[in-house]
Chain A
Amino acid sequence: MDISIDDILAELDRDTTAVDHSDPSSHLPIPSDGNTTMMNSSFDPSRMPGGKNRLHEDVTPQKDYSRLMTLWRNERCAPELLPYPSLLLSRMLRRVQEQMENIENISMGFYKNTISGDLKNSGVSYDKTNEKLPLLYMEAELERVKFLLRSYLRCRLSKIDKFMLYLKQLDYDETNVTPLNELLSEQEQVYHSRHFAISLKLLNSSILKHMPPELQAINDTEGSVSMIDEPEWNKFVFIHVKEPSDHANEDPLLEKNEFGKLCYTVTIHELNEDVELNIGGIYVMRYGVIKDLLRNDKVELI
Protein backbone atom coordinates (compact mmCIF):
# COMPACT_ATOMS: atom_id res chain seq x y z
CA MET A 1 0.00 0.00 0.00
CA ASP A 2 2.60 2.46 1.11
CA ILE A 3 4.68 1.93 -1.90
CA SER A 4 1.84 2.48 -4.29
CA ILE A 5 1.03 5.79 -2.57
CA ASP A 6 4.63 6.82 -2.89
CA ASP A 7 4.43 6.02 -6.53
CA ILE A 8 1.45 8.24 -6.96
CA LEU A 9 3.13 11.01 -4.99
CA ALA A 10 6.20 10.68 -7.11
CA GLU A 11 4.10 10.95 -10.21
CA LEU A 12 2.45 14.07 -8.86
CA ASP A 13 5.77 15.55 -7.89
CA ARG A 14 7.14 15.02 -11.29
CA ASP A 15 4.15 16.63 -12.89
CA THR A 16 4.37 19.74 -10.74
CA THR A 17 8.05 20.16 -11.37
CA ALA A 18 7.43 19.92 -15.05
CA VAL A 19 4.83 22.65 -14.75
CA ASP A 20 7.12 24.72 -12.57
CA HIS A 21 9.80 24.33 -15.10
CA SER A 22 7.73 25.61 -17.95
CA ASP A 23 6.11 28.37 -15.92
CA PRO A 24 9.08 30.66 -15.28
CA SER A 25 10.36 30.00 -18.73
CA SER A 26 7.35 31.76 -20.17
CA HIS A 27 8.33 34.87 -18.19
CA LEU A 28 11.92 34.60 -19.25
CA PRO A 29 13.04 36.18 -22.46
CA ILE A 30 13.50 32.87 -24.17
CA PRO A 31 11.99 32.20 -27.54
CA SER A 32 9.15 29.98 -26.53
CA ASP A 33 9.44 27.67 -29.49
CA GLY A 34 13.09 26.92 -28.74
CA ASN A 35 12.25 26.03 -25.17
CA THR A 36 9.36 23.79 -26.01
CA THR A 37 11.34 21.88 -28.58
CA MET A 38 13.94 21.22 -25.96
CA MET A 39 11.39 20.07 -23.46
CA ASN A 40 9.65 17.95 -26.02
CA SER A 41 12.77 16.33 -27.27
CA SER A 42 13.81 15.40 -23.79
CA PHE A 43 10.42 13.98 -22.93
CA ASP A 44 9.68 12.30 -26.20
CA PRO A 45 11.95 9.26 -25.89
CA SER A 46 10.64 8.71 -22.42
CA ARG A 47 7.05 8.67 -23.50
CA MET A 48 7.46 6.27 -26.37
CA PRO A 49 9.08 3.24 -24.74
CA GLY A 50 7.36 4.09 -21.47
CA GLY A 51 4.56 1.66 -22.07
CA LYS A 52 6.79 -1.39 -22.33
CA ASN A 53 9.54 -0.76 -19.86
CA ARG A 54 9.22 0.55 -16.32
CA LEU A 55 12.77 1.76 -16.29
CA HIS A 56 12.12 4.07 -19.18
CA GLU A 57 9.09 5.58 -17.57
CA ASP A 58 11.07 8.17 -15.70
CA VAL A 59 13.51 9.46 -18.22
CA THR A 60 13.96 13.14 -17.55
CA PRO A 61 16.96 15.37 -17.99
CA GLN A 62 17.35 15.64 -14.22
CA LYS A 63 17.26 11.91 -13.68
CA ASP A 64 19.64 11.33 -16.53
CA TYR A 65 22.01 13.84 -15.05
CA SER A 66 22.00 12.27 -11.61
CA ARG A 67 22.29 8.85 -13.20
CA LEU A 68 25.33 10.05 -15.10
CA MET A 69 26.70 11.49 -11.88
CA THR A 70 26.43 8.09 -10.23
CA LEU A 71 27.97 6.35 -13.21
CA TRP A 72 30.81 8.83 -13.19
CA ARG A 73 31.54 8.22 -9.52
CA ASN A 74 31.35 4.48 -10.00
CA GLU A 75 33.65 4.61 -12.96
CA ARG A 76 36.20 6.69 -11.11
CA CYS A 77 36.28 4.39 -8.11
CA ALA A 78 35.88 0.98 -9.68
CA PRO A 79 39.01 -0.95 -10.59
CA GLU A 80 37.46 -2.38 -13.74
CA LEU A 81 35.93 -0.82 -16.80
CA LEU A 82 32.17 -0.65 -16.42
CA PRO A 83 29.77 -1.15 -19.32
CA TYR A 84 29.12 1.85 -21.48
CA PRO A 85 25.66 3.38 -20.99
CA SER A 86 25.06 3.99 -24.66
CA LEU A 87 21.43 5.09 -24.44
CA LEU A 88 22.04 7.49 -21.58
CA LEU A 89 25.12 8.97 -23.19
CA SER A 90 23.42 9.45 -26.55
CA ARG A 91 20.57 11.24 -24.80
CA MET A 92 22.95 13.44 -22.87
CA LEU A 93 25.03 14.28 -25.91
CA ARG A 94 21.97 15.17 -27.90
CA ARG A 95 20.75 17.43 -25.14
CA VAL A 96 24.10 19.18 -24.91
CA GLN A 97 23.99 19.76 -28.64
CA GLU A 98 20.46 21.11 -28.48
CA GLN A 99 21.15 23.31 -25.51
CA MET A 100 24.17 24.75 -27.27
CA GLU A 101 22.03 25.62 -30.25
CA ASN A 102 19.42 26.98 -27.94
CA ILE A 103 21.86 29.30 -26.21
CA GLU A 104 23.17 30.33 -29.57
CA ASN A 105 19.71 31.25 -30.72
CA ILE A 106 18.96 33.21 -27.59
CA SER A 107 22.17 35.18 -27.72
CA MET A 108 21.49 35.95 -31.34
CA GLY A 109 18.17 37.28 -30.17
CA PHE A 110 19.95 39.71 -27.90
CA TYR A 111 21.72 41.35 -30.77
CA LYS A 112 18.57 41.78 -32.73
CA ASN A 113 16.58 42.85 -29.69
CA THR A 114 13.55 41.22 -31.16
CA ILE A 115 12.57 39.33 -28.05
CA SER A 116 12.81 42.37 -25.84
CA GLY A 117 10.66 44.15 -28.32
CA ASP A 118 8.21 41.30 -28.19
CA LEU A 119 8.26 41.37 -24.46
CA LYS A 120 7.65 45.08 -24.39
CA ASN A 121 4.70 44.57 -26.61
CA SER A 122 3.40 41.80 -24.47
CA GLY A 123 3.60 44.03 -21.43
CA VAL A 124 6.21 42.20 -19.38
CA SER A 125 8.54 44.63 -17.65
CA TYR A 126 11.79 44.69 -19.53
CA ASP A 127 14.98 44.59 -17.55
CA LYS A 128 18.47 44.17 -18.92
CA THR A 129 19.82 42.15 -15.99
CA ASN A 130 16.74 40.03 -15.93
CA GLU A 131 17.53 39.11 -19.47
CA LYS A 132 21.16 38.12 -18.97
CA LEU A 133 20.79 36.02 -15.87
CA PRO A 134 19.06 32.98 -17.41
CA LEU A 135 21.58 32.95 -20.19
CA LEU A 136 24.39 32.89 -17.68
CA TYR A 137 22.73 30.05 -15.86
CA MET A 138 22.28 28.08 -18.99
CA GLU A 139 25.87 28.49 -20.02
CA ALA A 140 27.18 27.56 -16.59
CA GLU A 141 24.91 24.54 -16.44
CA LEU A 142 26.03 23.46 -19.87
CA GLU A 143 29.63 23.72 -18.76
CA ARG A 144 28.89 21.57 -15.73
CA VAL A 145 27.32 18.87 -17.85
CA LYS A 146 30.14 19.02 -20.34
CA PHE A 147 32.72 18.74 -17.59
CA LEU A 148 30.97 15.68 -16.25
CA LEU A 149 30.84 14.05 -19.66
CA ARG A 150 34.45 14.86 -20.40
CA SER A 151 35.70 13.60 -17.09
CA TYR A 152 33.68 10.42 -17.46
CA LEU A 153 34.95 9.68 -20.92
CA ARG A 154 38.53 10.52 -20.04
CA CYS A 155 38.39 8.24 -17.04
CA ARG A 156 37.19 5.45 -19.30
CA LEU A 157 39.93 6.13 -21.79
CA SER A 158 42.60 5.89 -19.13
CA LYS A 159 41.17 2.54 -18.09
CA ILE A 160 41.12 1.37 -21.68
CA ASP A 161 44.80 2.26 -21.87
CA LYS A 162 45.54 0.37 -18.72
CA PHE A 163 43.62 -2.78 -19.59
CA MET A 164 44.44 -2.76 -23.27
CA LEU A 165 45.66 -6.34 -23.38
CA TYR A 166 42.99 -7.58 -21.03
CA LEU A 167 40.23 -6.11 -23.18
CA LYS A 168 41.85 -7.56 -26.26
CA GLN A 169 41.84 -10.93 -24.62
CA LEU A 170 38.19 -10.51 -23.66
CA ASP A 171 37.47 -9.89 -27.30
CA TYR A 172 38.98 -13.23 -28.33
CA ASP A 173 37.42 -15.09 -25.49
CA GLU A 174 34.21 -16.74 -26.67
CA THR A 175 32.94 -17.66 -23.22
CA ASN A 176 32.99 -14.07 -22.12
CA VAL A 177 29.80 -12.73 -20.55
CA THR A 178 29.83 -9.14 -21.73
CA PRO A 179 30.90 -8.68 -25.32
CA LEU A 180 33.30 -5.88 -26.04
CA ASN A 181 30.79 -3.84 -27.97
CA GLU A 182 28.60 -3.65 -24.88
CA LEU A 183 31.50 -2.66 -22.68
CA LEU A 184 32.83 0.03 -24.99
CA SER A 185 31.22 2.60 -27.21
CA GLU A 186 31.99 2.59 -30.89
CA GLN A 187 34.48 5.40 -30.58
CA GLU A 188 36.14 3.68 -27.67
CA GLN A 189 36.43 0.50 -29.67
CA VAL A 190 38.09 2.40 -32.45
CA TYR A 191 40.41 4.05 -29.93
CA HIS A 192 41.21 0.72 -28.35
CA SER A 193 42.05 -1.11 -31.52
CA ARG A 194 44.06 1.75 -33.03
CA HIS A 195 45.94 2.48 -29.85
CA PHE A 196 46.68 -1.20 -29.52
CA ALA A 197 48.01 -1.32 -33.06
CA ILE A 198 50.16 1.76 -32.54
CA SER A 199 51.73 0.61 -29.30
CA LEU A 200 52.25 -2.85 -30.69
CA LYS A 201 54.06 -1.34 -33.63
CA LEU A 202 56.24 0.74 -31.35
CA LEU A 203 57.18 -2.22 -29.17
CA ASN A 204 57.72 -4.45 -32.15
CA SER A 205 59.98 -2.13 -34.05
CA SER A 206 61.99 -0.96 -31.06
CA ILE A 207 62.50 -4.07 -28.95
CA LEU A 208 60.54 -7.15 -29.80
CA LYS A 209 62.07 -7.75 -33.20
CA HIS A 210 65.41 -8.33 -31.52
CA MET A 211 63.95 -11.01 -29.27
CA PRO A 212 63.85 -14.73 -29.99
CA PRO A 213 60.53 -15.68 -31.63
CA GLU A 214 59.09 -17.39 -28.59
CA LEU A 215 59.56 -14.25 -26.52
CA GLN A 216 57.95 -11.90 -29.01
CA ALA A 217 54.40 -12.19 -27.76
CA ILE A 218 53.23 -9.26 -25.68
CA ASN A 219 50.33 -11.12 -24.13
CA ASP A 220 52.22 -14.05 -22.71
CA THR A 221 50.57 -15.48 -19.61
CA GLU A 222 52.70 -18.62 -19.42
CA GLY A 223 55.87 -16.90 -18.30
CA SER A 224 56.90 -16.23 -14.74
CA VAL A 225 54.93 -12.99 -14.68
CA SER A 226 51.65 -12.68 -16.54
CA MET A 227 51.89 -9.87 -19.05
CA ILE A 228 48.18 -9.16 -19.05
CA ASP A 229 47.18 -6.76 -16.34
CA GLU A 230 43.80 -7.77 -15.05
CA PRO A 231 41.69 -5.38 -13.07
CA GLU A 232 42.42 -5.64 -9.40
CA TRP A 233 39.28 -7.49 -8.39
CA ASN A 234 40.05 -7.42 -4.72
CA LYS A 235 40.59 -3.71 -4.48
CA PHE A 236 38.82 -2.19 -1.52
CA VAL A 237 36.21 0.39 -2.40
CA PHE A 238 33.87 2.52 -0.37
CA ILE A 239 30.28 1.64 -1.07
CA HIS A 240 27.01 3.22 -0.14
CA VAL A 241 24.09 0.82 -0.07
CA LYS A 242 21.28 2.55 -1.89
CA GLU A 243 17.69 2.71 -0.85
CA PRO A 244 15.82 0.10 -2.81
CA SER A 245 13.85 1.57 -5.65
CA ASP A 246 10.07 1.43 -5.81
CA HIS A 247 9.80 -2.28 -6.55
CA ALA A 248 11.73 -3.26 -3.44
CA ASN A 249 9.64 -6.21 -2.40
CA GLU A 250 10.29 -7.86 -5.73
CA ASP A 251 13.99 -7.99 -4.99
CA PRO A 252 15.01 -11.53 -4.05
CA LEU A 253 18.38 -10.46 -2.67
CA LEU A 254 16.94 -8.18 -0.06
CA GLU A 255 16.42 -9.80 3.33
CA LYS A 256 15.57 -8.81 6.85
CA ASN A 257 18.21 -9.29 9.50
CA GLU A 258 17.61 -9.83 13.20
CA PHE A 259 17.19 -6.12 13.86
CA GLY A 260 14.42 -5.93 11.31
CA LYS A 261 16.43 -3.86 8.92
CA LEU A 262 16.61 -4.59 5.26
CA CYS A 263 19.97 -5.78 4.06
CA TYR A 264 21.75 -7.59 1.27
CA THR A 265 23.89 -10.53 2.22
CA VAL A 266 27.15 -11.06 0.41
CA THR A 267 29.83 -13.66 0.94
CA ILE A 268 33.55 -13.04 0.98
CA HIS A 269 34.81 -16.29 -0.46
CA GLU A 270 38.39 -16.16 0.73
CA LEU A 271 37.43 -15.72 4.36
CA ASN A 272 34.23 -17.72 3.99
CA GLU A 273 32.35 -15.02 5.76
CA ASP A 274 28.88 -13.60 5.24
CA VAL A 275 28.40 -9.87 5.51
CA GLU A 276 25.12 -8.05 5.84
CA LEU A 277 25.00 -4.77 3.99
CA ASN A 278 22.35 -2.61 5.58
CA ILE A 279 20.38 -0.21 3.47
CA GLY A 280 21.85 3.25 3.72
CA GLY A 281 25.09 2.03 5.24
CA ILE A 282 28.59 2.84 4.11
CA TYR A 283 31.11 0.04 3.92
CA VAL A 284 34.63 -0.60 2.79
CA MET A 285 34.37 -3.78 0.82
CA ARG A 286 36.27 -5.80 -1.72
CA TYR A 287 35.19 -4.91 -5.21
CA GLY A 288 34.80 -8.50 -6.34
CA VAL A 289 32.29 -9.12 -3.58
CA ILE A 290 29.95 -6.29 -4.47
CA LYS A 291 30.42 -6.37 -8.24
CA ASP A 292 27.04 -7.92 -8.94
CA LEU A 293 25.26 -5.54 -6.61
CA LEU A 294 26.93 -2.65 -8.37
CA ARG A 295 25.91 -3.97 -11.78
CA ASN A 296 22.33 -4.22 -10.58
CA ASP A 297 22.45 -0.71 -9.21
CA LYS A 298 21.93 -1.74 -5.59
CA VAL A 299 25.02 0.03 -4.29
CA GLU A 300 27.05 2.97 -5.45
CA LEU A 301 30.71 3.69 -5.01
CA ILE A 302 31.82 6.80 -3.19
Chain B
Amino acid sequence: MGYYDIDDVLADSVEFPCKFQYFLPGLGYLEGNPGKPIEKNCRLDLPLWLARILAIVGGDEEGQEDEEALPFVELLRPEMFSPKVVNAIKAGASDLDLHTINAHFYSLAVKWITLFGDEELAGVVSEMVLERSLEMNGHASSVAVQAAGVEAQSSLIGSPFLITMDESEKQLYRLAHDSYKRTKKWIIQT
Protein backbone atom coordinates (compact mmCIF):
# COMPACT_ATOMS: atom_id res chain seq x y z
CA MET B 1 0.00 0.00 0.00
CA GLY B 2 2.47 2.57 -1.14
CA TYR B 3 1.83 6.16 -1.97
CA TYR B 4 1.94 5.58 -5.72
CA ASP B 5 -0.01 2.33 -5.61
CA ILE B 6 -2.82 2.79 -8.08
CA ASP B 7 -5.07 0.15 -6.55
CA ASP B 8 -4.65 1.76 -3.20
CA VAL B 9 -5.66 5.11 -4.64
CA LEU B 10 -8.75 3.54 -6.18
CA ALA B 11 -9.63 1.76 -2.96
CA ASP B 12 -9.26 5.00 -1.04
CA SER B 13 -11.89 6.69 -3.18
CA VAL B 14 -14.64 4.26 -2.20
CA GLU B 15 -17.34 6.13 -0.32
CA PHE B 16 -18.24 5.35 3.25
CA PRO B 17 -21.35 6.53 5.09
CA CYS B 18 -20.56 9.19 7.66
CA LYS B 19 -22.48 11.22 10.18
CA PHE B 20 -21.40 14.77 10.90
CA GLN B 21 -21.16 15.69 14.53
CA TYR B 22 -20.80 19.43 14.08
CA PHE B 23 -22.55 22.27 12.37
CA LEU B 24 -20.09 23.29 9.68
CA PRO B 25 -20.74 26.39 7.58
CA GLY B 26 -19.50 26.55 4.03
CA LEU B 27 -19.01 22.85 3.50
CA GLY B 28 -22.33 22.27 1.79
CA TYR B 29 -20.65 21.24 -1.44
CA LEU B 30 -19.98 17.88 0.11
CA GLU B 31 -23.72 17.42 0.10
CA GLY B 32 -24.12 18.80 -3.38
CA ASN B 33 -25.50 22.21 -2.49
CA PRO B 34 -22.58 24.63 -2.23
CA GLY B 35 -22.95 27.78 -0.25
CA LYS B 36 -25.07 26.16 2.43
CA PRO B 37 -23.78 24.84 5.74
CA ILE B 38 -23.70 21.23 6.82
CA GLU B 39 -26.13 20.47 9.61
CA LYS B 40 -25.28 18.45 12.66
CA ASN B 41 -26.23 14.75 12.42
CA CYS B 42 -26.39 14.94 8.68
CA ARG B 43 -25.59 11.65 6.97
CA LEU B 44 -23.31 11.73 4.00
CA ASP B 45 -21.23 9.41 1.87
CA LEU B 46 -17.61 10.50 1.88
CA PRO B 47 -14.64 8.95 0.11
CA LEU B 48 -12.42 7.06 2.47
CA TRP B 49 -9.40 9.32 2.06
CA LEU B 50 -11.48 12.19 3.40
CA ALA B 51 -13.56 10.26 5.89
CA ARG B 52 -10.57 8.60 7.46
CA ILE B 53 -8.88 11.83 8.41
CA LEU B 54 -12.11 13.53 9.47
CA ALA B 55 -12.97 10.63 11.71
CA ILE B 56 -9.69 11.05 13.58
CA VAL B 57 -9.21 14.80 13.81
CA GLY B 58 -11.25 16.46 16.52
CA GLY B 59 -13.15 19.52 15.48
CA ASP B 60 -13.10 21.41 18.72
CA GLU B 61 -14.56 24.75 17.76
CA GLU B 62 -15.82 25.77 21.14
CA GLY B 63 -12.38 25.32 22.66
CA GLN B 64 -13.40 23.04 25.48
CA GLU B 65 -10.38 21.27 26.82
CA ASP B 66 -12.03 18.97 29.29
CA GLU B 67 -13.97 17.05 26.70
CA GLU B 68 -12.14 14.46 24.64
CA ALA B 69 -12.18 16.07 21.20
CA LEU B 70 -15.12 14.72 19.26
CA PRO B 71 -14.09 14.04 15.68
CA PHE B 72 -15.78 15.87 12.83
CA VAL B 73 -17.55 12.84 11.53
CA GLU B 74 -18.52 9.47 12.81
CA LEU B 75 -17.87 6.63 10.40
CA LEU B 76 -20.91 4.41 10.20
CA ARG B 77 -20.55 0.74 9.49
CA PRO B 78 -20.76 0.41 5.72
CA GLU B 79 -22.95 -2.07 3.93
CA MET B 80 -20.07 -4.32 2.99
CA PHE B 81 -19.10 -5.01 6.60
CA SER B 82 -22.68 -5.34 7.79
CA PRO B 83 -23.73 -8.43 9.73
CA LYS B 84 -25.48 -9.73 6.65
CA VAL B 85 -22.25 -9.86 4.68
CA VAL B 86 -20.27 -11.20 7.61
CA ASN B 87 -22.76 -14.04 7.96
CA ALA B 88 -22.56 -14.75 4.27
CA ILE B 89 -18.77 -14.95 4.56
CA LYS B 90 -19.00 -17.31 7.48
CA ALA B 91 -21.49 -19.48 5.63
CA GLY B 92 -19.37 -20.06 2.58
CA ALA B 93 -16.60 -17.70 1.64
CA SER B 94 -15.75 -19.36 -1.64
CA ASP B 95 -19.26 -18.97 -3.02
CA LEU B 96 -19.46 -15.33 -2.18
CA ASP B 97 -19.61 -12.79 -4.98
CA LEU B 98 -16.98 -10.50 -3.56
CA HIS B 99 -16.71 -8.35 -6.63
CA THR B 100 -20.25 -7.07 -6.37
CA ILE B 101 -19.95 -6.43 -2.64
CA ASN B 102 -16.93 -4.30 -3.31
CA ALA B 103 -14.20 -4.47 -5.89
CA HIS B 104 -11.57 -3.56 -3.31
CA PHE B 105 -12.94 -5.56 -0.45
CA TYR B 106 -9.70 -6.73 1.11
CA SER B 107 -7.80 -3.49 1.11
CA LEU B 108 -10.84 -1.72 2.50
CA ALA B 109 -11.24 -4.37 5.15
CA VAL B 110 -7.60 -3.89 6.14
CA LYS B 111 -8.09 -0.14 6.35
CA TRP B 112 -11.27 -0.54 8.35
CA ILE B 113 -9.64 -2.94 10.76
CA THR B 114 -6.66 -0.63 11.28
CA LEU B 115 -9.02 2.25 11.97
CA PHE B 116 -11.24 0.50 14.47
CA GLY B 117 -9.26 -2.48 15.69
CA ASP B 118 -12.15 -4.72 14.77
CA GLU B 119 -10.88 -8.11 15.86
CA GLU B 120 -13.97 -10.05 14.94
CA LEU B 121 -13.92 -8.79 11.39
CA ALA B 122 -10.19 -9.49 11.21
CA GLY B 123 -10.79 -13.10 12.14
CA VAL B 124 -13.59 -13.48 9.63
CA VAL B 125 -11.63 -11.90 6.82
CA SER B 126 -8.50 -13.94 7.41
CA GLU B 127 -10.57 -17.13 7.41
CA MET B 128 -12.10 -15.95 4.18
CA VAL B 129 -8.72 -15.28 2.58
CA LEU B 130 -7.60 -18.79 3.36
CA GLU B 131 -10.75 -20.41 2.10
CA ARG B 132 -10.86 -18.44 -1.09
CA SER B 133 -7.14 -18.91 -1.69
CA LEU B 134 -7.63 -22.65 -1.80
CA GLU B 135 -10.29 -22.20 -4.42
CA MET B 136 -8.09 -19.79 -6.34
CA ASN B 137 -5.17 -22.16 -6.32
CA GLY B 138 -7.40 -24.83 -7.74
CA HIS B 139 -8.47 -22.58 -10.57
CA ALA B 140 -4.98 -21.24 -11.19
CA SER B 141 -3.33 -24.62 -11.35
CA SER B 142 -5.62 -26.07 -13.98
CA VAL B 143 -3.64 -24.96 -16.96
CA ALA B 144 -4.40 -26.16 -20.44
CA VAL B 145 -1.24 -26.12 -22.49
CA GLN B 146 -1.72 -28.31 -25.50
CA ALA B 147 1.34 -29.08 -27.56
CA ALA B 148 4.74 -27.54 -27.18
CA GLY B 149 4.50 -23.84 -27.71
CA VAL B 150 0.82 -23.76 -28.54
CA GLU B 151 -0.89 -21.97 -25.75
CA ALA B 152 -4.47 -22.65 -25.04
CA GLN B 153 -6.73 -19.83 -24.14
CA SER B 154 -6.90 -19.07 -20.49
CA SER B 155 -8.76 -22.04 -19.17
CA LEU B 156 -12.18 -21.99 -17.65
CA ILE B 157 -13.71 -19.11 -19.52
CA GLY B 158 -16.90 -18.22 -17.84
CA SER B 159 -15.99 -20.05 -14.71
CA PRO B 160 -18.28 -18.46 -12.19
CA PHE B 161 -15.66 -18.12 -9.52
CA LEU B 162 -13.36 -15.93 -11.58
CA ILE B 163 -15.84 -13.10 -11.90
CA THR B 164 -16.47 -13.01 -8.20
CA MET B 165 -12.91 -12.15 -7.28
CA ASP B 166 -11.97 -8.75 -5.97
CA GLU B 167 -9.10 -6.74 -7.44
CA SER B 168 -6.34 -8.03 -5.21
CA GLU B 169 -7.51 -11.58 -5.74
CA LYS B 170 -7.43 -10.99 -9.46
CA GLN B 171 -3.83 -9.91 -9.25
CA LEU B 172 -2.95 -12.91 -7.16
CA TYR B 173 -4.80 -15.22 -9.49
CA ARG B 174 -3.05 -13.80 -12.52
CA LEU B 175 0.34 -14.25 -10.91
CA ALA B 176 -0.38 -17.78 -9.80
CA HIS B 177 -1.89 -18.76 -13.10
CA ASP B 178 1.02 -17.30 -15.01
CA SER B 179 3.60 -19.12 -12.99
CA TYR B 180 1.76 -22.43 -13.31
CA LYS B 181 1.42 -21.87 -17.01
CA ARG B 182 5.06 -20.96 -17.54
CA THR B 183 6.29 -23.89 -15.53
CA LYS B 184 4.15 -26.25 -17.51
CA LYS B 185 5.23 -24.73 -20.77
CA TRP B 186 8.85 -25.03 -19.79
CA ILE B 187 8.40 -28.66 -18.80
CA ILE B 188 6.67 -29.51 -22.04
CA GLN B 189 9.16 -27.71 -24.24
CA THR B 190 12.30 -29.16 -22.77
Interface 1/0s, chain B 1-39, versus A by CB < 8 A?
011100000000000000000000000000000000000
* CB-based nearest B residue for A225: B3
A225 to B53, CA, bound (A): 10
Work out how many contacts link A and B, with CB atoms closer than 8 A.
10
Interface 1/0s, chain B 36-68, versus A by CB < 8 A?
000000000000010011000000000000000
Do residues A227 and B3 form an inter-chain contact, with CB atoms below 8 A?
Answer: yes
Closest CB-CB distance, B108 to chain A, in whole Å?
Answer: 15
* CB-based nearest A residue for B49: A224
A226 to B52, CA, bound (A): 14
A207 to B53, CA, bound (A): 24
Do residues A224 and B52 form an inter-chain contact, with CB atoms below 8 A?
Answer: yes
* CB-based nearest A residue for B2: A229
Do residues A229 and B49 form an inter-chain contact, with CB atoms below 8 A?
Answer: no
A185 to B143, CA, bound (A): 43
Question: Do most interface residues of chain A lie in helix, strand or loop, or is the interface mixed?
Answer: loop
Q: Which of B3, B52, B53 contacts A229 (CB 8 A)?
A: B3
> How many residues on chain B are close to A (CB under 8 Å)?
6
Do residues B49 and A226 form an inter-chain contact, with CB atoms below 8 A?
Answer: no
A226 to B3, CA, bound (A): 7
Q: Which of A224, A226, A228 contacts B53 (CB 8 A)?
A: A224
* Residues of the A chain whose Cβ atoms lie less than 8 Å from the Cβ of B4: 229
* Residues of the B chain whose Cβ atoms lie less than 8 Å from the Cβ of A225: 3
* CB-based nearest B residue for A165: B3
Interface residues of A in 177-234 (CB under 8 A from B): 224-229
Interface 1/0s, chain A 109-132, versus B by CB < 8 A?
000000000000000000000000
Interface 1/0s, chain B 108-123, versus A by CB < 8 A?
0000000000000000
Which one of A224, A225, A226, A227 has the greatest number of beta carbons of chain B within 10 Å? A225
* Residues of the B chain whose Cβ atoms lie less than 8 Å from the Cβ of A229: 2-4
* Residues of the A chain whose Cβ atoms lie less than 8 Å from the Cβ of B49: 224
* Residues of the A chain whose Cβ atoms lie less than 8 Å from the Cβ of B53: 224
Closest CB-CB distance, B160 to chain A, in whole Å?
Answer: 30
Interface residues of A in 223-250 (CB under 8 A from B): 224-229
A205 to B3, CA, bound (A): 20
A225 to B52, CA, bound (A): 11
Closest CB-CB distance, A21 to chain B, in whole Å?
Answer: 30
A224 to B53, CA, bound (A): 7
A227 to B52, CA, bound (A): 17
* CB-based nearest B residue for A162: B2
A226 to B2, CA, bound (A): 8
* CB-based nearest B residue for A219: B3
Closest CB-CB distance, A178 to chain B, in whole Å?
Answer: 22
* Residues of the A chain whose Cβ atoms lie less than 8 Å from the Cβ of B2: 229
* CB-based nearest B residue for A227: B3
Closest CB-CB distance, A144 to chain B, in whole Å?
Answer: 18
Closest CB-CB distance, B120 to chain A, in whole Å?
Answer: 19
Closest CB-CB distance, B65 to chain A, in whole Å?
Answer: 24
A228 to B3, CA, bound (A): 7
Closest CB-CB distance, A159 to chain B, in whole Å?
Answer: 14
A229 to B2, CA, bound (A): 6
* Residues of the A chain whose Cβ atoms lie less than 8 Å from the Cβ of B3: 225-229
Interface 1/0s, chain A 165-182, versus B by CB < 8 A?
000000000000000000
* CB-based nearest B residue for A228: B3
Interface residues of B in 120-170 (CB under 8 A from A): none
A146 to B1, CA, bound (A): 35
* CB-based nearest B residue for A226: B3
Closest CB-CB distance, A217 to chain B, in whole Å?
Answer: 12
* CB-based nearest B residue for A224: B53
Report which B residues bind A (CB closer than 8 A). 2-4, 49, 52-53
Cβ contacts A to B, 10 pairs, < 8 Å: A224-B49, A224-B52, A224-B53, A225-B3, A226-B3, A227-B3, A228-B3, A229-B2, A229-B3, A229-B4
Q: What 4 A-B pairs are tightest by C-beta distance, nearest first? A: A229-B2, A227-B3, A224-B53, A225-B3
**Beyond A224-B49, A227-B3, 4 extra complex contacts between A and B, CB < 8 Å:** A224-B52, A224-B53, A225-B3, A229-B3
